[in-house]
Every structure is written in structure tokens, then in C-alpha cells.
């Protein structure tokens, strides 16, 4: 079940400059673990020490914020796309 | 790292304190925390005195040392120093001893407080060598970027939700900006722009230029203090979209106190939202220090940000200053616009209606004591959101050009007045 993950600029040092990587995990939390195995250090950048998504990180599955879905338990299926985006200001 | 530019020292992560060079970057590479400009306050204190400020032109640039550019400003030289109006009639109406309106509905050149942040962001963009500027906007920012970019000879791209008020759309197009309407709400526009900003070498005023941009808001607070006779107000009511303005007003009072330009004293900062988009106010009322994102549905489109980037810090400021938040319905927003117009002759946009009606609630509940003094921040002009009031104000009495018809009309009105 390949899912594409869009990597934001600040994290591309960890992915060797790749802006799009592929994971096969079944949910968002597992996808983060899978990326951590491939790109060590990425988990610490996305999750705080309690394992929650950091305050200033927004994660979207198919353009929907995972906080409106099931957070890290949000299921992934073939062809889904994950975007990781820093929170930005308004107005 | 310690390469000072003007009075700026570095960009610093608000979460972990890591420092970065003064470039076009806005998030900490480590934890995605927002970057903020760090200043050399010791040097600033040597030149920024009340006497020095008072001798300078009446624009926001009179506080230049506390604004994040290296040299002299090149964009928006006339912005700011909008009126602070003593609002006695509205004070009586809302039941408070003293009330002031900081009226950025007449800010130059595009009639909203956004000209403050844009003049800083574009002046800094020029210093960093950008030729194209852009923004994600709920309307006012788009207008300001379009206008100020035009006057500076910069190319601009503005991204807005495609359902914005007509006034705000025309107000961007007229300056020759590239206007891109996104079929979605602001948070979706924002997300797209975050992705675009990483790809093209543009100065996105509220993305990669955000640390500079956001600081421009402080000038509204500096002006309030100076116009009150060099003191901080007891209460300030600020509309919240991303929550950035509220945190910067607080910072402006802190900086003036630190530099001895105002006396150390306590102040309360209150936040106003529309009920149709109230993530920050909901969290404040529930006593939480984090918010839950919402999907916006309100006529106050300029405040319709469901995932407010500075929501966390706005909550912190309200807690630390003993301030409160509240939110109001669309009908109350219109009532707020009418109260301000009928009492003070000021026509604010929907965000202004939000601020006035929330102030009314906070005064009625005693969260702002009736014996105190408050400043309301009015951030945009009603002429840009006419749709919100159309059909909700009185209507024109039409007659032929005849004295008899006019007199008959007056008589009818008297009858109405007597029976009412």
C-alpha cells in the first residue's frame, strides 16, 4: 500500500534532499516509524517527547488535517498522500 | 551568527531558542517552532527616546529601531499613525468609564492594519534581494501586498479563498497583482502556499518572511501608548485570526516598558473571535492552553482561520495578562458594526464588529470592569465588506424632487416615530 509523503523544506536534509518519499505503513503513526527507520532523526522532529505530533507541525492526509481524522491512528490506503507542513500565520 | 543587521541580532526559535542568520526563513529546522527577530535592546535604548520619537514624522517608522529592517525603510513610508479616537458615546452605550478606538480602518494606503506588516515585510524583502512577493490572505493582506508591491515596482502573487467579498478581490486586481482564487477556505490556501513557498524563490510575506512581517504589528501598540500620553492602556481588545496581532500588541507594551518609554504597569489583553471560527476563544473559555482546529463558517472572513498559527501564544498572553476571550454570532457582528458607526461615525469591517461586540460582552460580564479604561483595535474598513451589511441597515427613502413629497415623507416619519 504505497503512500506518498511530501517532505517540507526544513526536513529535506534528513531525506537526502528528497521532497517526496514513499511509505507502505497502515496508519500515520506507523508511517512516521517507517520514515524514522529510513531517515533516522525524522521522528524527533515531528513528535514531542510524549509521542504527540509537535505543536507547530501540521500533518494532512489527502489535504485533511489529521486532527479532524484519527490523528496518528488515521488509516492509510493505496494512493493516499501525506503532507507535513509547519503552521503559518494569517491573514 | 552574531552578524548584526541594523538593530537585529538574529532569528531565534520561540520554542527551543536555537539561533539562525537573518535570512528569509520562518521555522526552526529542529522543532518547526516559529522564528522571531532578536534585537540589541541596549543599543536601541541609546537612540530611541520619547524626545527622538516625537521629533520624527508621524508614521509607524518613528519607532524604526524596534522594526526589523537593516537600513532605512523603502516601502510604505507613509503607513501608520492612525487616529486614536476617544469614544465617549460608545463608552456610554457599552457601559464603561472610558473607551478609545484605535482606528486602522483608515490606515494608509489600503485601509487595514495589514499595511503595517506589509511595509516591513516588503522593505526587508528588498534588502534580501527579492523581486517577487506573495502572500496567502483572507483579503486585507492581499490588498496591501498588491498595492505596496505596485508602488515599489515589485511583482506580486496573492492567494485568496475564491469566495471572498467582491471589494477585497477588486481591491487586489486593480494594482495589477496576479490574484489566485483557491477553491477552499483560508487554511487550505495557507497549506498550499506553504508548499509553494518552498518551491519558488519568492518572498512570501506571511510564510518565509513571517518573522519580519509579524513584527510590523507592534507599531499599532507603540502608537496606542504614545497617543495615550506615553502609557499603556488598562485593557486592550484585539480581534484574533492567527492570534499574531494580539501577541505583538503585548510585545509592543513590553518593549516600551523595558526601554522606559512607558511606566512599568499591568495591562490586560483580551481576544475577540466570531463564534463561527472560535478555536482560540473556545480554548480560553475552557481554561485550556491548546486549541482544537475548527472549520470556519462566519461572515467575519478576515478572521476565518481555523488553525491559528499563533493560537498557542495568544492563549499564553491572555493568561499572563489576566485577559479573556469571547466570541459572537454573525448577528452580533453586524450589531457591533452598527454600534461603532452610529456612536462614533466609524465604519469598520466585520472584524471590527467582532471586536466591538466581544468588548460589550466582556464589559457586561465584568471581565472588563465598568470603572476601567479600554482600547478597541479596529483593523479594517467597512467599505470592503459591504455584503455583510447589505439588507441589514436602513433603506433609502425615495421621492420625486418635490418639496410636497419631502414634507409628506417627514410627516410619515414623525407618525412612525410617535407610534414606535
**Nearest chain B CA: its distance from A21 CA (Å):** 15
Structural domains for chain B: 84-110+215-389 (3.40.50.1100)
Residue B242 has its nearest CB partner, among A68, A86, A91, at A91
Chain B residues in contact with A60 (beta carbon < 8 A):
191
Cβ atoms of B202 and B132 within 8 Å: the answer is: yes
Which residue numbers in chain B have pLDDT < 50?
Answer: 1
Assess A43–B contact: CB distance below 8 Å, yes or no: no
Contact B292 A67 (CB under 8 A): yes
At residue B35's C-alpha, the angle toward residues B32 and B36, to 5°, is: 160
Helix (H, G, I), strand (E, B) or coil at B6: coil
**Nearest chain B CA: its distance from A90 CA (Å):** 5
Q: In this predicted structure, what is the pLDDT of residue B1?
A: 45
Contact A63 B191 (CB under 8 A): yes
At residue B219's C-alpha, the angle toward residues B318 and B330, to 5°, is: 55
Q: In this predicted structure, what is the pLDDT of residue B332?
A: 98
**Is the confidence at residue A90, as pLDDT, over 60?**
no
The mean pLDDT value for A52-58 works out to: 89
Domain A3-86: CATH architecture, name and number where available: Roll (3.10)
Give the B-side interface with A, CB within 8 Å.
15, 26-34, 114, 136-138, 140-141, 186-188, 190-191, 193-195, 198, 206-207, 210, 213-214, 241-242, 244, 290, 292-293, 295, 302, 305, 307-310, 312
Q: How confident is the model at residue A1 (pLDDT cuts 50, 70, 90)?
A: low
Interacting residues of A67 by C-beta distance below 8 A, sequence separation 6+: B292, B293
Q: In this predicted structure, what is the pLDDT of residue A67?
A: 86
Interacting residues of B158 by C-beta distance below 8 A, sequence separation 6+: B134, B135, B137, B141, B142, B145, B146, B172, B177, B178, B179, B180
Cβ atoms of B78 and B123 within 8 Å: the answer is: no
Residue B242 has its nearest CB partner, among A56, A58, A90, at A90
Structure ipTM over 0.95, yes or no: no
Where are chain A's structural domains? 3-86
Contact B32 A10 (CB under 8 A): yes
Q: Which residue of B has its CA nearest to A42?
A: B30
User: Chain A interface, mutation test: which of B121, B182, B198, B289, most A Cβ atoms within 10 Å?
Assistant: B198
At residue B387, φ and ψ (nearest 5 deg) are: -50, -40
What is the signed CA dihedral for B124, B130, B132, B133, rounded to 10 degrees?
Answer: -20
Assess A68–B contact: CB distance below 8 Å, yes or no: yes
What are the pLDDT digits (tens) for B358-375? 999 999 999 999 999 999
Contact A90 B191 (CB under 8 A): no
**Burial environment of residue B268 by CB neighbours within 10 A (0 to 12, 13 to 18, 19 or more):** buried
What is the DSSP-derived secondary structure letter of residue B251?
Answer: H
d(CA A7, CA B144): 31
What is the DSSP-derived secondary structure letter of residue B418?
Answer: H
Chain A residues in contact with B246 (beta carbon < 8 A):
none
Chain B residues in contact with A57 (beta carbon < 8 A):
32
Q: What is the pTM of this model?
A: 0.92
Contact B198 A90 (CB under 8 A): no
> Residue A38, Cβ neighbours under 10 Å: how many?
12
Q: Which of B311, B126, B144 is nearest to A89 (CA)?
A: B311
Name the H helices within B259-349.
Answer: 279-285, 311-321, 330-344
What are the pLDDT digits (tens) for A9-22? 888 889 999 989 99
Chain B residues in contact with A54 (beta carbon < 8 A):
31-32
Assess A15–B contact: CB distance below 8 Å, yes or no: no
Contact A6 B188 (CB under 8 A): no
d(CA A62, CA A55): 20
At residue B235's C-alpha, the angle toward residues B232 and B237, to 5°, is: 115
The pLDDT mean for chain A works out to 90
Q: How far is CA B158 from CA A89, B153, B161, B234, B312, in A?
A: 15, 15, 10, 37, 27
Amino acid at each position: 500500500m504505497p503512500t506518498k509523503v511530501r517532505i517540507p523544506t526544513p526536513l529535506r536534509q534528513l531525506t537526502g534532499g528528497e521532497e517526496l518519499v514513499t511509505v507502505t505503513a497502515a496508519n500515520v503513526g506507523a508511517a512516521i516509524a517507517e520514515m524514522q527507520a529510513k531517515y533516522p532523526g525524522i521522528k524527533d522532529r515531528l513528535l514531542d517527547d510524549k509521542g504527540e505530533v509537535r505543536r507547530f507541525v501540521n500533518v494532512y492526509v489527502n489535504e485533511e488535517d489529521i486532527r479532524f481524522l484519527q490523528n496518528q491512528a488515521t488509516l492509510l490506503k493505496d494512493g493516499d498522500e501525506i503532507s507535513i507542513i509547519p503552521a503559518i500565520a494569517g491573514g | 551568527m552574531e552578524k548584526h543587521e541594523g538593530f537585529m541580532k538574529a532569528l531565534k526559535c520561540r520554542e527551543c531558542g536555537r539561533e539562525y542568520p537573518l535570512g528569509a526563513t520562518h521555522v526552526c529546522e529542529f522543532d518547526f517552532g516559529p522564528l522571531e527577530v532578536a534585537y540589541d535592546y541596549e543599543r536601541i535604548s541609546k537612540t530611541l527616546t520619547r524626545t527622538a520619537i516625537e521629533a520624527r514624522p508621524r508614521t509607524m517608522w518613528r519607532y524604526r529601531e524596534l522594526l526589523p529592517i537593516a537600513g532605512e525603510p523603502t516601502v510604505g513610508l507613509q503607513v501608520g499613525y492612525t487616529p486614536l479616537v476617544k469614544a465617549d458615546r460608545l463608552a456610554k452605550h457599552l457601559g464603561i468609564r472610558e473607551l478609545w478606538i484605535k482606528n486602522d480602518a483608515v490606515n494608509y494606503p489600503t485601509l487595514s492594519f495589514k499595511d503595517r506588516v506589509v511595509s516591513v515585510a516588503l522593505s526587508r524583502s528588498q534588502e534580501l534581494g527579492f523581486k517577487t512577493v506573495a502572500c496567502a490572505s483572507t483579503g486585507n493582506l492581499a490588498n496591501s501586498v498588491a498595492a505596496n508591491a505596485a508602488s515599489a515596482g515589485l511583482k506580486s502573487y496573492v492567494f485568496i479563498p475564491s469566495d471572498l467579498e467582491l471589494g477585497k478581490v477588486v481591491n487586489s486586481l486593480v494594482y495589477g497583482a496576479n490574484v489566485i482564487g483557491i477553491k477552499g477556505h483560508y487554511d487550505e490556501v495557507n497549506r498550499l502556499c506553504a508548499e509553494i513557498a518552498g518551491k519558488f524563490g519568492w518572498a512570501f510575506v506571511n510564510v518565509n518572511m513571517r518573522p519580519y512581517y509579524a513584527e510590523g504589528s507592534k507599531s499599532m501598540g507603540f502608537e496606542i501608548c504614545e497617543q495615550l500620553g506615553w502609557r499603556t492602556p488598562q485593557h486592550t481588545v484585539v480581534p484574533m485570526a492567527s492570534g499574531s496581532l494580539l501577541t505583538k500588541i503585548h510585545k509592543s507594551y513590553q518593549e516600551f516598558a523595558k526601554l522606559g518609554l512607558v511606566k512599568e504597569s499591568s495591562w490586560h489583553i483580551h481576544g475577540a473571535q466570531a463564534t463561527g471560527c472560535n478555536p482560540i476563544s473556545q480554548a480560553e473559555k475552557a481554561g485550556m492552553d491548546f486549541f482544537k482546529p475548527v472549520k470556519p463558517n462566519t461572515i467575519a472572513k478576515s478572521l476565518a482561520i481555523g488553525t491559528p498559527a499563533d493560537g498557542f501564544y495568544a492563549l499564553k498572553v491572555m493568561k499572563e495578562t489576566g485577559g479573556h476571550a469571547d466570541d459572537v454570532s454573525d448577528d452580533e457582528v453586524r450589531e457591533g458594526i452598527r454600534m461603532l458607526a452610529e456612536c462614533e461615525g466609524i465604519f469598520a469591517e466585520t472584524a471590527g464588529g467582532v471586536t466591538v461586540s466581544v468588548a460589550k460582552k466582556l464589559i457586561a460580564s465584568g471581565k472588563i470592569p465598568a470603572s476601567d479604561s479600554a482600547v478597541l483595535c479596529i483593523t479594517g474598513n467597512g467599505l470592503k465588506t459591504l455584503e455583510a451589511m447589505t439588507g441589514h441597515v436602513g433603506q433609502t427613502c425615495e421621492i420625486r424632487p418635490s418639496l410636497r413629497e419631502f414634507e409628506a415623507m417627514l410627516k410619515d416619519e414623525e407618525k412612525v416615530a410617535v407610534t414606535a
